[in-house]
């Protein structure tokens, strides 16, 4: 375990009576440490916020509380007893119930069936009684103020906001001692419905862990909040006594300053990739320009339209309105082939399911982008393939011995290098990179950064989304923030600072 963070804030307002006490939790997945040292407590009837950037450890805590994963170190106590659940059902038996951010409803079942599982009501002969379950589900929906949803409806046919409400009702229906809400208002059209329910359940001394990036909600609902950073609990603070700026500082640590080149040259360069009033699924009226020789970053929390925007540019999502221009020419983006023809090279979010061609050698995974150029009579010789990828593989530090291996035998970092090599060798002049260093080590990150910078210095441009704000601070010449599917803020050069990005991605930045 690492030493105590220098800026650790101690909680001077801890209540005398506790329902949950978490001490020194640690959880790693192989070499990746998800939680390093997390401690906090919560009292009966308290709504307690967990605050932190993406990747700070909030989701891992939710999994530990629900028995989905087990801690490597540390303890949890619920009431006076040690708490170590090994499944969601065991957590529920102890009085812990969760409304998950990634909804856990079964879409092929009705609302009624989802609400009654896993303890569906049965008739005289031990068979599930559809009538009894329907009546019980109607009673629950009425009790919790969801009167506009038919319990006989298939969950798959409901709008997202209704599914979110059913997820919350199912958690409340367990009559928990501890209710965990993970981004509960992300899809709610009327959050006041939830706020009223929380007032009712906390009056019955139910404790609530509230995870949200919406600081205005947190301040309204929560008395205390624990701030997480890089898997550590930096401190628990009474929210009425701490300013937003202090919370942001605790979330990101010491201020980091952008070290990318001046944007003066970029602004004088020609527009390379332009989006004008682009709209599509979860994307609304987005306009931005990336110039020759420029890296433009995109910062956003989960679900703010960034994934759909990047997939529109890659030809994988429909462009419903607006126009995309590459090097001054309107681009057709009906499919990935047309996107590449327009000069757009796309690095997808998930390398294993969207990127690599398992079963092929690494060199073949790279050269597939230029198969038509290097094939003869429909065949690609090994030597031709090796020559075609040699230069880009060397730039990305992929030795020949790796090129000859099946790509699934490589580490995640080397797989990511191969995918970036494929994009760069394709002839694209406009890189569209979705979280390009996700899940790779520090050395691989530096290699990827250097190659993106080299690419734009040779006249290309790059649009880069990253879940790591520090990465955007260090890498990008300019940065736009997406919030609610729209451009919420734009920062140039040395204006790109983590504190500003954190404020903007949570809806507190300047437009």
Over the stretch 371-421, which tens digit does the pLDDT of each residue have? 667 666 566 667 667 777 888 888 888 888 888 888 888 878 888 999 999
Split into its structural domains, the chain has a count of 3
Q: How far apart are CA 111 and CA 170, in angstroms?
A: 10
Residue 1 pLDDT exceeds 70: no
In this predicted structure, what is the pLDDT of residue 32? Answer: 75
Going by pLDDT thresholds of 50, 70 and 90, the confidence category of residue 510 is: low
Residue 122 pLDDT exceeds 90: no
Residue 165 pLDDT exceeds 90: yes
In this predicted structure, what is the pLDDT of residue 371? Answer: 67
pLDDT in tens, 296-320: 999 998 889 999 999 999 999 999 9
Same domain membership, residue 212 and residue 150: no
423 in a structural domain:
no
379 in a structural domain:
no
249 in a structural domain:
yes
Q: Which of 169-183, 251-265, 320-334, 378-392 has the lowest mean pLDDT?
A: 251-265
**390 half-sphere exposure, CB direction, 13 A CA radius:** 7
Q: Which domain-ending residue is among 174, 208, 229?
A: 174
Residue with the two structure tokens 């094939």: 375
Same domain membership, residue 218 and residue 139: no
Residue 6 pLDDT exceeds 50: no
Same domain membership, residue 296 and residue 233: no
Same domain membership, residue 192 and residue 87: yes
Range of the domain at 310: 264-343+428-505
pLDDT in tens, 133-156: 899 999 999 999 999 999 999 999
Record the tokens describing residue 260, joined without a space: 């990318």
Same domain membership, residue 326 and residue 248: no
Residue 264 pLDDT exceeds 70: no
Residue 296 phi/psi, 5-degree rounding, is: -105, 120
Q: How far apart are CA 95 and CA 91, in angstroms?
A: 6
**Is 474 in contact with 324 (CB distance < 8 Å)?**
no
Same domain membership, residue 243 and residue 289: no
Residue 219 pLDDT exceeds 50: yes
412 in a structural domain:
no
DSSP structure string for 386-408? HHHHHHHHHHTT--HHHHTSBGG
Same domain membership, residue 317 and residue 296: yes
Give the chain's radius of gyration (CA, Å). Answer: 25
Same domain membership, residue 238 and residue 89: yes
**Is 377 in contact with 371 (CB distance < 8 Å)?**
no
Residue with the two structure tokens 């007032």: 199
Q: Which domain-ending residue is among 174, 205, 228?
A: 174
- Over the chain, what is the mean pLDDT? 86
Q: How far apart are CA 167 and CA 88, in angstroms?
A: 15
406 in a structural domain:
no
**Is 410 in contact with 418 (CB distance < 8 Å)?**
yes
Q: How far apart are CA 407 and CA 412, in angstroms?
A: 10
In this predicted structure, what is the pLDDT of residue 297? Answer: 96
Instruction: With 0.75 as the threshold, say if the pTM is over it.
Output: no
For range 270-299, the mean pLDDT:
95
Record the tokens describing residue 79, joined without a space: 């009431």
Same domain membership, residue 203 and residue 166: no
Q: How far apart are CA 412 and CA 238, in angstroms?
A: 41
In this predicted structure, what is the pLDDT of residue 467? Answer: 86
Same domain membership, residue 168 and residue 47: no
Q: How far apart are CA 32 and CA 466, in angstroms?
A: 18
474 in a structural domain:
yes
Dihedral sign for Cα atoms in the order 200, 202, 208, 210: positive
Going by pLDDT thresholds of 50, 70 and 90, the confidence category of residue 291 is: very high
Same domain membership, residue 183 and residue 84: yes
Same domain membership, residue 181 and residue 167: no
363 in a structural domain:
no
In this predicted structure, what is the pLDDT of residue 400? Answer: 82
Query: Among residues 282, 353, 350, 290, which one has the least CA distance to residue 312?
Result: 282
In this predicted structure, what is the pLDDT of residue 173? Answer: 93
- Dihedral class, residue 509 (left if φ above 0, else alpha if ψ from -120 to 50, else beta): beta
58 in a structural domain:
yes
Q: Which domain-ending residue is among 236, 254, 272?
A: 254
**CATH number, position 499:** 3.40.50.300
């Amino acid at each position: 375990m690492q030493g105590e963070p220098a800026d650790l804030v101690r909680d001077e307002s801890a209540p005398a009576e506790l329902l949950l006490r978490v001490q020194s939790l640690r959880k790693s997945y192989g070499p990746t440490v998800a939680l390093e040292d997390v401690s906090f407590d919560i009292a009966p009837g308290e709504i307690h916020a967990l605050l932190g950037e993406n990747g700070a450890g909030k989701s891992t805590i939710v999994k530990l509380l629900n028995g989905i994963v087990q801690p490597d170190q540390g303890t949890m106590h619920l009431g006076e007893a040690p708490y170590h659940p090994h499944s969601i059902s065991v957590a529920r038996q102890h009085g812990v119930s969760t409304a998950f951010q990634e909804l856990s409803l079964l879409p092929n079942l009705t609302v009624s069936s989802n609400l009654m599982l896993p303890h569906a009501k049965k008739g005289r002969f031990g068979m599930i009684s559809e009538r009894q379950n329907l009546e019980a589900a109607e009673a629950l929906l009425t009790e919790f103020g969801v009167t506009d949803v038919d319990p006989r409806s298939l969950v798959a046919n409901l709008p997202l906001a209704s599914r979110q409400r059913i997820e919350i009702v199912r958690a409340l229906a367990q009559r928990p001692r501890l209710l965990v809400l993970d981004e509960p208002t992300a899809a709610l059209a009327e959050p006041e419905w939830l706020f009223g329910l929380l007032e009712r359940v906390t009056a019955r001394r139910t404790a609530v862990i509230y995870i949200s990036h919406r600081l205005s909600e947190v301040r309204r609902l929560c008395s205390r909040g624990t701030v997480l950073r890089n898997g550590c609990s930096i401190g628990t603070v009474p929210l009425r006594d701490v300013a937003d700026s202090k919370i942001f500082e605790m979330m990101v640590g010491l201020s980091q300053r952008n070290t990318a080149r001046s944007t003066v040259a970029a602004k004088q360069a020609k527009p390379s990739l332009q989006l004008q009033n682009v709209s599509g699924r979860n994307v609304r009226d987005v306009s931005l320009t990336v110039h020759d020789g420029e890296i433009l970053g995109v910062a956003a929390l989960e679900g703010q339209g960034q994934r759909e925007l990047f997939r529109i540019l890659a030809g994988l999502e429909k462009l419903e309105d607006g126009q995309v221009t590459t090097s001054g020419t309107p681009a057709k983006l009906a499919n990935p082939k047309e996107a590449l023809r327009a000069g757009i090279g796309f690095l997808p979010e998930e390398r294993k399911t969207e990127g690599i061609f398992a079963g092929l050698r690494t060199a073949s995974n790279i050269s597939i982008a230029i198969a038509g150029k290097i094939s003869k009579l429909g065949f690609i010789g090994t030597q031709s393939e090796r020559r075609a990828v040699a230069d880009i593989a060397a730039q990305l530090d992929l030795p020949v011995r790796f090129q000859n291996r099946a790509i699934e035998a490589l580490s995640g970092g080397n797989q990511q290098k191969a995918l970036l090599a494929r994009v760069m060798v394709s002839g694209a002049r406009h890189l569209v990179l979705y979280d390009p260093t996700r899940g790779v080590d520090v050395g691989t990150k530096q290699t990827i950064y250097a190659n993106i910078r080299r690419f734009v210095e040779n006249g290309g441009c790059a649009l880069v989304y990253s879940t790591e704000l520090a990465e955007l601070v260090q890498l990008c010449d300019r940065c736009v923030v997406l919030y609610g599917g729209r451009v919420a803020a734009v920062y140039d050069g040395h204006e790109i600072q983590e504190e500003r990005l954190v404020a903007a991605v949570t809806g507190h930045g300047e437009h």
